[in-house]
Structure 1
Amino acid sequence: MTRDEINEVRERRLAACINMVKEAYQVDGYGVAELIGISKSTWTRYERAPWGKKGFGLFVGLSELTTVKLSWLMAEDLDPDLD
């Protein structure tokens, strides 16, 4: 896979997790930002970034962690006793 293809996969995974959290918690983007512990300005920069660029700058090194946090939130929602 090329670097661009890898970044596209990461972006799509991140977007899918964000959409699941929005649905499960009935929040908007700022609600997701609050749940995963990032600022509103960081969230706004993420939303405004074009596809193919969302993994750069804003979420470099953080995208995997964010995906893990979002996945954990989804698992917690499915199993409230998860520690």
Structure 2
Amino acid sequence: MARKYSRKASADVRRAMKKRKAGTLKSGRSGRTVKSKKQAIAIGLSEARAKGKKVPKKARKTTKKRKTSKKRKAKK
């Protein structure tokens, strides 16, 4: 099975995780200290993407379609 991320991208994630553990990893515009492991991984992958390393594209958010019931239609 092929690697999902390149070794260099993994190194970027590893660096972000170490910074998080040290308490020096900051998030985006707000500049707040990152405490979540998931957020640290996301920051590492985002930086790797920006550098042009082999990282899959971000997963798209799926939106739920709102079902319109007969009662709703009747009220209008």
TM-score (norm 1): 0.26
Q: Which has the higher contact order (CA 8 A, sep 6+)?
A: 1
